[in-house]
A and B are shown apart, each in its own frame.
Chain A
């Protein structure tokens, strides 16, 4: 297994030269996350700043909105860690289980990331790095990796903003670019970046985002509840004081109903897969 891992790392080029970070040091990685103007684990300083501007448009925080947004929740830094997942050992792909320590279990199992076996590692190398013309990865055709999607997507946002850069544009102009459905390059990037933003905002904080449980607090979401679970009354009775939905709001959300049908993930754009309400 170790030999296999080294072989993979060699084939990964420059990434293999970076020191692998053992999982117990994860909290210090989070504490020393790159600030504005600093390079991340994969993205350079300018790319990371551009991603921050994008994430601020996807899930805005103060002052536009009273609750913390994606930037405050450290979503851009978490996405950078996903792009650099293989600089961690084990890679930051699958958090451990069964319990976090949020319900006073005594140890945060989630932070013990699960090592990938050789098969799973190949799948995630392809997802993150792409097939890159490597024969052992192109058995079913090429896949553009997330690293490339971010690198060229963020550069394309600057190209659209020229002669300014994307981060220097006022928010409404940034939004106009991100919302341009006629620009396929923008939309490929938006599809991937939005999916990753949601994961980092609404997933467990062990993945690096959702800082201070910002994504769970403003949505009134309890997150992981094991090993406590719910009482019979919490399951079977209404929650006292739960907010009410107006009939007008109910009408307004009807356009989202078809989205509950879900979407099958294509191999070359796997992040577009979406669970269906009928899956349950």
Chain B
């Protein structure tokens, strides 16, 4: 018998679930609050794209969440203690609001989580003032779904160049579906610098076509990659790799459908459907056997909190009081190598190398002295720089640098042509007081309270940034031809431009509906099913118990596929 599902959000988690359930014969309705910018998606002619090599459009909220219409607010934990409602209104970690979600312009980096990520609490004990938890599943539970998602996305990489420890932590039986892209020059120099210091850089697994794959062409390294929709569909993602086939198989998609409530039966034991607003302000209701929330961690938590009922006075599925809590962002620590020669580190798919040597956990006297049992960093994105307009904007951050000095800087072009950056995707520890709730005063264009983000770094992140940063800078200095190497520590990146708002510089969001065995301390079970409601599922970064040091989208997709297969009875 056909069953029905409503999937809220058409990004990484939602599209994968919609695809798997539609193929299993389910009736699937996908509600997406963003716009549809991929004409032909879900038709025999295949998706076309309106994206181009256009920095202006990328900065004009074409696919990004329009922060004038849908702002967010933020404050620090200290400000929260003082009773400050919020100290910033604007772009707080927004993700694309568009059919296909974040993967429409993602960097498409697809590292797997490691075995150790799922058992940090058991293996290493608690961290003071943090809420580290084990996951209710392990690497081996996810491995077959990693394999399947990678094959469908079209992930490039080379198993023979991966470090032994990486393969031990994230074992894979087979070679990647396709070989790596041509290595970027600046990244190659940093890789050589890493090698000189005994570290190991290798081709970054990514959902970018190095050859024609699934009817899409090979990447031609145009350089407008992370943050830009691909003009030639050479990058895999939720829309082109999953949603397209889901729609062909009969799933229905409604763009510009803003879901504001998940409704339940009178007893509060099951969800019955959702209410949403269309583009013209009309309200609608849709029912289904199952509701899957994949709005991304901040918006999923917000919707649950907005859907409170008399049975769930603190928000739907929130008897644990963990909805919205344990919000995690990756913190990035960037090191910069400066080269005398031009290294055109903007040419290519953002970066083509990664380094795993700083994933951690690392221990030692300095870390113990800081009151921490360990520090963790993460993988490094090796060898990126900026495009032209971004470069101009960066220099202008220093007051009164317009005029002839501006022209001279743009001609010399240090940031664009002579820098190659090494960005560590650092693990962020969960804290109960880092959270999403509903802003008391600020409303969005639909008239609903916007998400308020309360966030402060744990000492762990500050110490980890200071611990790994100099090692990254040393790699930069050791690169052939480098004339300088320096690093930008977390506290610096965080203080430029204000308090918590600077965390928007990381677009990786987790933890607001964590999975776990215990309904008292977690929101969902190991399948993403809400402990409190039989037929409500979470399928995005919200379910992550810890953030790992790895780009999250592949793991979001693998978790979603595992959940959908369980729902469809095939697991």
What residues make up the interface of A, taking CB atoms closer than 8 Å to B? 4, 57-60, 64-65, 67, 69, 93-100, 109-110, 114, 117-120, 122-123, 126-127, 139-141, 143, 175, 178-179, 181, 194-195, 198-199, 201-204, 207, 215-216, 218-221, 223-230, 232, 234-239, 242-247, 249-251, 253-268, 270, 273-280
- Min CB–CB distance A68 → chain B (angstroms): 10
Chain B residues 325-347 with CB under 8 Å of chain A are 332, 334, 336, 338-344, 347
B249 proximal to A (CB < 8 A): no
Q: How many residues of B contact A (CB 8 A)?
A: 115
**What residues on A are CB-neighbors of B71 within 8 Å?**
140, 267
Neighbouring A residues of B89 by C-beta, 8 Å: 140-141, 266-268
Tell which of B396, B404, B450 touches A140, judged by Cβ atoms closer than 8 Å.
Answer: B450
Extra contacts besides A114-B62, A202-B389, A270-B90 (5): CB < 8 Å: A117-B35, A244-B340, A250-B414, A268-B90, A278-B334
Hey, which chain B residues are within 8 Å of A139, CB to CB? 443-445, 447
Which A residues are CB-close (under 8 A) to B484? 247, 250-251, 254
Q: Sort A-B residue pairs by CB-CB distance and give the 10 closest, nearest first.
A: A229-B220, A97-B52, A224-B53, A259-B397, A242-B342, A98-B231, A203-B56, A278-B332, A263-B497, A261-B493
Instruction: Identify the closest chain A residue to B497 (Cβ).
Output: A263
> Are A225 and B423 CB-contacts (below 8 A) given A140-B443, A195-B393, A264-B502?
no
Kindly identify which residue among A114, A237, A253 contacts B414, using a CB–CB cutoff of 8 Å. A253
Question: Are A250 and B407 in contact, with the CB atoms below 8 A?
Answer: no
One of B183-191, B263-271, B316-324, B365-373 at the interface = B183-191
Is B220 a contact of A60 with CB atoms below 8 Å?
no
Would A280 and B351 count as touching, CB distance under 8 A?
yes
Q: Is the CB of B403 within 8 A of A225?
A: no
A96 with B221: CB separation less than 8 A: no
Kindly identify which residue among A229, A270, A275 contacts B222, using a CB–CB cutoff of 8 Å: A229
CB distance from B351 to the nearest CB of A (A): 7
- The verdict on A230 contacting B340 (CB below 8 Å), with A59-B406, A267-B90, A268-B89 known, is no
Inter-chain contact A202/B406, CB cutoff 8 Å? no
Q: State whether A274 and B393 are in contact (beta carbons under 8 Å apart), knowing that A123-B61, A226-B220 are contacts in the complex.
A: yes
Provide a sorted-by-A list of 19 A–B residue pairs whose CB atoms are within 8 angstroms.
Answer: A60-B403, A60-B404, A67-B407, A95-B57, A114-B50, A117-B35, A118-B280, A122-B69, A175-B403, A202-B55, A224-B222, A239-B344, A256-B394, A258-B496, A265-B91, A267-B90, A270-B90, A277-B385, A279-B227
| B293 cross-chain contacts in A, Cβ below 8 A | none
Min C-beta distance of B378 to chain A, whole Å: 12
CB of A72, distance to nearest CB on chain B (Å):
12
B49 to A97, Cβ gap below 8 A? yes
**Cβ of B421 < 8 Å from any Cβ of A?**
yes
Q: Find chain B residues with CB under 8 A from A225 CB.
A: 53, 222-223
Residues of A within 8 A of B414 (CB): 245, 249-250, 253, 256
Other-chain contact of B53, A67, A226, A259 (Cβ < 8 Å):
A226
Q: Are B389 and A198 in contact, CB atoms less than 8 angstroms apart?
A: yes
Decide if B342 touches A122 in the complex (CB within 8 Å). Answer: no
Q: Bound state CA distance, A60 and B407, in angstroms?
A: 8
With beta carbons under 8 angstroms apart, the residue of A99, A207, A255, A275 that contacts B398 is A255
Contact residue among B256, B342, B388 (Cβ-Cβ distance under 8 Å from A239): B342
The listed residue (B107, B226, B350, B496) touching A259 by CB distance below 8 A is: B496
Contact B56 A207 (CB under 8 A): yes
Residues of B within 8 A of A140 (CB): 68, 71, 89, 442-445, 450
Contacts of B496 in A (CB 8 A): 258-259, 261-263
Which residues of chain A are within 8 angstroms of B279 by Cβ–Cβ distance?
117-119
A274 to B223, CA, bound (A): 18
Answer whether A264 and B61 are a contact pair too, CB < 8 Å, given A198-B396, A221-B388: no
Nearest-CB distance from B496 to chain A (Å)? 4
Q: Is the pair B505, A58 in contact by a Cβ cutoff of 8 Å?
A: no
In the complex the two chains form, is A100's CB within 8 Å of B493's CB? Answer: no
Q: In the bound complex, do residue A98 and residue B221 qualify as a contact, i.e. CB atoms below 8 Å apart?
A: no
Query: For the complex, is B409 an interface residue (Cβ under 8 Å from A)?
Result: yes
In the complex, A59 Cα to B404 Cα: how many Å? 7
B570: chain A residues at CB < 8 Å are none
Assembly CA distance A28 to B177 (angstroms): 50
Residue of B nearest to A203 (CB): B56
Q: Is the CB–CB distance between B404 and A198 below 8 Å? A: no
B410 touches A (CB below 8 Å): yes
Q: Which residues of A contact B402 (CB under 8 A)?
A: 57-59, 178, 194
A216 and chain B: residue at smallest CB distance: B388
The answer to whether A199 and B56 touch across the interface, beta carbons within 8 angstroms, is yes
Tell me the complex Cα distance, A137–B473, Å: 47
Could you mark each residue 472-516 of chain B with 1 if its beta carbon is under 8 Å from any beta carbon of chain A, else 0?
000000000001101010001100111001101111000000000
Q: Does B167 contact A (CB under 8 A)?
A: no
The yes or no answer to B553 lying at the interface (CB within 8 A) is no
B334 proximity list for chain A (CB < 8 A): 260-261, 277-278
493-542 of chain B: CB within 8 A of chain A: 493, 496-498, 501-502, 504-507
- CB neighbours of A119 from chain B (8 A): 35, 66, 69, 256, 279, 445
Chain A residue numbers with a CB within 8 Å of B51 are 97-98
Residue B399 interfacial (CB < 8 Å): yes
Q: Is B412 an interface residue (CB 8 A)?
A: yes
A274 → chain B, closest Cβ, in Å? Answer: 5
What chain A residues lie within 8 Å of B445 (beta carbons)? Answer: 119, 122, 139-140
Q: Is the CB of B226 within 8 A of A238?
A: no
Question: How many Å lie between the Cα of A19 and that of B250 in the bound state?
Answer: 43
The listed residue (B49, B57, B226, B338) touching A94 by CB distance below 8 A is: B57
Which residue in B185, B339, B442, B492 is a CB contact (below 8 Å) of A258?
B492
Given A224-B52, A236-B184, A273-B91: A199 and B59 interface contact (C-beta under 8 Å): yes
Q: Are B497 and A275 in contact (CB-based, < 8 A)?
A: no
Q: Are B185 and A235 in contact (CB under 8 A)?
A: yes
Shortest CB-to-CB span from B191 to chain A, Å, is: 12
Q: Does B390 contact A (CB under 8 A)?
A: yes
Contact between B60 and A279, CB atoms less than 8 A apart: no
B348 at interface (Cβ–Cβ under 8 A)? Answer: yes
